[in-house]
Amino acid sequence: MRTRTRFLLLVLSILVPSFIAATLAVVYVYRDAQQAQNRSMAETARAMALLVDNELETRQTLLRALAGAPSLERGDLPEFYEHAQRAAPPPASVVVLFDPDGRQLLNTRRAYGAELPQRGASNISELMKRYGAERTLVSDLFLAQVGKRHDFAIQVPVKLEGQVRYLLSLGLNASTLQRLLDRQQLPQGWMATIVDRNGIVVARSRTPELFIGKPIRPQTRARLVTSRDTMFESTSLDGIESRVFASTVPSADWKVLLSIPDNELRAAPLRAAALLGGLMALLLIAGLVAARRFAARAIAPIEALGQNAKALGEGAEVPYVPVGWTELDSVARHLAEASTRIRHGQTEMEARVAAAIAATERAQSALLKNQKLEALGRLTGGIAHEYNNLLQTLTTALQLAAFSTREEKVKGLLQTCQRTVARATALTGQLGSFGRLQEARVTTVDICEQLRNAVQLMKGSLRSDVAVEVHCEQDVWPVTVEPLQFDVALLNLALNARDAMPQGGLLRLEAKNVEIDSTHDTLARGDYVLVSMVDSGSGMTASVMARALDPFFTTKPPGQGTGLGLPQAYAFATQAGGTLILDSIPGIGTRVDLYLARARDEVAAAPQIDAGATLAHGSGTVLFVEDDALVREAVVRALQESGFEVLVAEDGEAALRLLETQGRRPDVVFSDIVMPGLVSGIDLAGILRQRYPGLPVVLATGYTEQQIDLPGVQVLAKPYAIEQLVATLSKTIAQG
């Protein structure tokens, strides 16, 4: 029998039965633990339903006691009014007395004799049609007409001389049941919810202020209608995947839902299964140890052959000594040939290891550069955000001042200020080049047209003895970039080239399509546009080129360089989905290659904004959400003078509260992205899309680290012009 067959049979004889037994045991324990857990949770849900029922029964007892009051039997309503106020003091509760036709006779939240509304807002009348007036009824949740709060009502009939003379109702605020849930002290992560017959949330153990009075999901409600006690998988209103245990409140036909996150439900069975699995693993290890001892006796000849192979590796002569095993004898015969192969293999391995070490060093160097740029990006991004807010205030205020004055001297001074602000905007935009790509400023451009425009910017910074040539291939693909950052990157590279050519020279710019279809150190496979800048300057040494992309590294004298030119260009290229590669030869020149990912979109048309002498006009209601007080003051005034009605909120939470209390919805919501609190502009847009479908949203940002992934939501970059803002809001309102 061959050696491989012997060891295979040995291992299989131990492992296969053990693995089968362990698997069956773990599955059984896991399922049994799950079933026990489900039974326990269902009992907990039933207990909570009985607690709610007991609470309602307590209130019904109070009503029955009031129904038997002597003053009510005598028809002395003023005395009964005082008695009811003492028994159920407002505003936490209200006692309402109706005649059999449903007309209110007294209401403890109103003075006795005051004008009372007709039949209340509850659905007691519908329940009376269904079940009759001679039984105790519990309404569903409603918004009280007097207290303007979420209440529910309990009604009992008052019989005098065998006939229903009055209908006595006790209105309770939903907070009554909310306190009941709060006292239960559920484990962290669990959630209890009380819903009425219509699937409206009456009380909730987690964030009740956001969901009381809101309907549960239609799928959840459909499951509750089919049975009194049930269990099912669902997603809570705040988006958590949970298992729901539902039980019916007997006296009200309401439901109590106990929701437990799936990950918590799986934890306990998994722990039990893991314990059993660990025990089985210990048994398997014990079996393997026993098998190892047995195998040690069988592989002694193989170990002897191993010693011979070790001697061969050390250069010693290995004799051939047959042992009677076919495999071992075959190996021994080939040991001599193996010595030659080993030497060749060692040489090849050393070469591969050297190549792998070099590739690792390159990757570590690229990672270090990215980490430095990320740290610099966070610093400059924060500065850019604050400056853009200041510039937004100045831009809006200057435009309003220009529209408000007719004096030419004042207009000239304002235009000077506006040009200064525009220059500050461009400088602030450069700060963002080291951070995350700002989608509000990104556009798809024709790279050749962008290069020609950038050359005009370069020529103002180059000497007359530096000649510039631009060569573009036909049909160069478009790219998606921040145009300002692209111009700044080219200008930084051109300034470096100028300083490297003190006696003048040639600066050549090229653009062409390239396809990366093989493994590359820093680029993935795909289509790229290669923008190259080649100078005939002094070049860089290997040591300088190794640090050229480090932020703040410069070879220029103090005061003549910042060390941010090449890092900015590198950061721009990586933001554009590519990279920057340097190639320099001392005394000959430097070549900088910018690889930019090919865009799949068409070249974007240049925006056309009417910059006339009069203020742009719009109409509609705008909810403006902005945390910066100066920006709020300036932009609100600009929007009002443009014809908009403006509602103002200082953060996302305030905006949501305003929408809940406002009688009518605005036509559009215009919000900043970066705001304090738990709700950013992006979060606010997502919440509004769920709660108020069809309500359009426009966002604005000076700088943000957040990824904006909201289709159909327009993003404006700060500072924006009044005309641009008015045009965007008007277009958004029209489309909405």
Residue 472 domain boundaries:
447-597
Query: Over the stretch 157-176, which tens digit does the pLDDT of each residue have?
Result: 998 888 888 988 888 888 88
- Compute the distance between CA of residue 76 and CA of residue 272 in angstroms, rounded to an integer: 68
434-473 per-residue burial string, b: 16 or more CB within 10 A, e: under 16 = bbbbbbbbbbebbbbebbeebbeebeeebeeebebeeebe
Domain membership flag for residue 14: no
Lowest mean pLDDT among 475-479, 561-565, 649-653, 723-727: 561-565
Residues 105 and 198 in one domain: yes
* Average pLDDT taken over every residue of the chain: 78
513-549 per-residue burial string, b: 16 or more CB within 10 A, e: under 16 = eeeeeeeeeebeeeebbbbbbbbbbbbbeeeebeebb
pLDDT above 90 covers a percentage of the chain that reads: 6
Query: Over the stretch 91-147, which tens digit does the pLDDT of each residue have?
Result: 778 888 888 888 888 888 888 888 887 666 788 888 888 888 888 889 898 887 766
Query: Over the stretch 334-353, which tens digit does the pLDDT of each residue have?
Result: 766 666 666 666 677 777 77
DSSP secondary structure of 208-237: HHHHTTPBPPHHHHHHHHH-SSEEEEEE-T
- CATH code of the domain covering residue 711: 3.40.50.2300
429: nearest Cα among 701, 671, 633, 628? 701
Query: Over the stretch 614-624, which tens digit does the pLDDT of each residue have?
Result: 566 888 888 89
> Is the per-residue pLDDT at 436 higher than 60?
no
Q: How many CB atoms are closer than 10 A to CB 179?
A: 11
Q: Which residues partner with 99 through β-bridges? A: none
pLDDT for the residue numbered 146: 64
Residues 666 and 723 in one domain: yes
Query: What average pLDDT does range 531-541 have in this prediction?
Result: 90
Residues 494 and 631 in one domain: no
577-606 per-residue burial string, b: 16 or more CB within 10 A, e: under 16 = bbbbbbebeeeebbbbbbbbbbbeeebeee
Domain membership flag for residue 392: no
Structure tokens at 722: 């009044």
Residues 511 and 564 in one domain: yes
- For residue 276, give the amino acid letter: L
- What is the torsional sign of CA 10, 12, 17, 19? positive
Q: Which residue has the higher pLDDT, 150 or 4?
A: 150
pLDDT band at 306 (very low <50, low <70, confident <90, very high): confident
User: pTM, whole model, 2 decimals?
Assistant: 0.39
- Compute the distance between CA of residue 474 and CA of residue 529 in angstroms, rounded to an integer: 12
Domain membership flag for residue 288: no
Residues 220 and 74 in one domain: yes
> Is the per-residue pLDDT at 536 higher than 80?
yes
Q: How many residues does the chain have?
A: 736
3-class secondary-structure state, position 415: helix
**Spacing of C-alpha 646 from chain mean position:** 29
Q: Which residue has the higher pLDDT, 33 or 405?
A: 33
Residues 92 and 210 in one domain: yes
In the chain, the number of structural domains is 3
Query: Over the stretch 599-636, which tens digit does the pLDDT of each residue have?
Result: 887 775 555 444 444 566 888 888 899 888 888 888 88
Write phi, then psi, for 337 (nearest 5 degrees): -65, -30
Give first-to-last CA distance, the chain, whole Å: 81
3-class secondary-structure state, position 242: strand
395: nearest Cα among 722, 726, 730, 728? 722
3-class secondary-structure state, position 686: helix
Residues 94 and 216 in one domain: yes
- CATH code of the domain covering residue 453: 3.30.565.10
pLDDT for the residue numbered 722: 80
Residues 556 and 649 in one domain: no
Element spanning 682, H or E = helix 681-691
Cα 73-75-77 angle, rounded to 5 deg? 115
- Compute the distance between CA of residue 339 and CA of residue 234 in angstroms, rounded to an integer: 67
Domain membership flag for residue 21: no
- Compute the distance between CA of residue 167 and CA of residue 323 in angstroms, rounded to an integer: 106
Residues 576 and 658 in one domain: no
Residues 247 and 170 in one domain: yes
- CATH code of the domain covering residue 48: 3.30.450.20
> Is the per-residue pLDDT at 563 higher than 70?
no
Domain membership flag for residue 701: yes
Residues 122 and 245 in one domain: yes
403: nearest Cα among 385, 415, 391, 393? 415
Domain membership flag for residue 261: yes
- Compute the distance between CA of residue 61 and CA of residue 71 in angstroms, rounded to an integer: 18
Cβ atoms 58, 132 nearer than 8 A: no
Domain membership flag for residue 627: yes
106: nearest Cα among 126, 82, 128? 82
Residues 635 and 526 in one domain: no
Looking at 255, 273, 291, which one is the last position of a domain?
273
- Strands 254-261, 505-516: pairing kind: unpaired
Query: Over the stretch 46-61, which tens digit does the pLDDT of each residue have?
Result: 988 898 889 889 888 9
Cβ atoms 75, 105 nearer than 8 A: no
For the sheet with 201-204, list strands across it: 201-204, 191-195, 254-261, 241-249, 230-235
- Strands 191-195, 201-204: pairing kind: antiparallel
> Is the per-residue pLDDT at 427 higher than 80?
no
- Compute the distance between CA of residue 148 and CA of residue 213 in angstroms, rounded to an integer: 12
Query: What average pLDDT does range 196-208 have in this prediction?
Result: 89
pLDDT for the residue numbered 529: 92
Domain membership flag for residue 633: yes
